[in-house]
């Protein structure tokens, strides 16, 4: 396959590392920032900016590169791809929910994040592991 395919895959993987790292960090903050901490609002505001500009741009790149790989590979009808697509769609939704929650918490840090947000780190890890197994093994 053409050489540029592997370069697009490299872009996909580098930006994916940023997205996963950012999502794990968000989960860590929801679990560990004490609502009474004097630094809570500032920490959430810094994380919000980081997510909006840095992680958000990386997520866009993951999608652009991923859809390009799908198109070049002709993978849109493959079972592994369709299953992975559902998983990465859910992951993108969780990232959106994390960013929304960071925005709320930066305004009112005393609020309690939902169970989904508190557990969003481990949930992200499980979904990413599934997505990686699907692309690496392509079991169906």
Q: Which residues bind ligand HEM (CB under 6 A)?
A: 9, 12-13, 16, 19-20, 62-63, 66-67, 69-70, 73, 75, 85, 88, 91, 128, 131-132, 135-136
Judged by beta carbon, residue 5 or residue 53, the one nearer ligand HEM is 5
- Angle, helices 3-32 vs 120-137, to 10°: value is 160
Judged by beta carbon, residue 17 or residue 104, the one nearer ligand HEM is 17
Residue nearest to ligand HEM (CB): 66
User: Are 82 and 17 contacting, i.e. CB atoms less than 8 angstroms apart?
Assistant: no
The whole-angstrom distance between residue 10's C-alpha and the CA centroid of its chain comes to: 17
C-alpha distances out from residue 43 to 10, 19, 38, 63, Å: 31, 19, 10, 28
Minimum CB distance to ligand HEM, residue 40 (Å): 28
């Amino acid at each position: 396959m053409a050489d540029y395919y592997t370069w697009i895959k490299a872009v996909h993987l580098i930006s994916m590392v940023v997205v996963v790292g950012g999502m794990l960090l968000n989960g860590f903050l929801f679990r560990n920032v004490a609502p009474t901490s004097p630094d809570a609002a500032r920490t959430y505001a810094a994380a919000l900016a980081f997510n909006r500009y840095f992680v958000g741009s990386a997520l866009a790149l993951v999608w652009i590169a991923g859809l390009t790989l799908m198109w070049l590979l002709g993978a849109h009808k493959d079972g592994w791809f369709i299953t992975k697509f559902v998983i990465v769609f859910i992951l993108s939704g969780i990232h959106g929910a994390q960013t929304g929650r960071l925005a709320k918490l930066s305004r009112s840090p005393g609020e309690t994040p939902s169970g989904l947000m508190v557990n969003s780190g481990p949930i992200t890890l499980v979904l990413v592991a599934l997505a990686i197994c699907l692309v690496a093994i392509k079991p169906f």
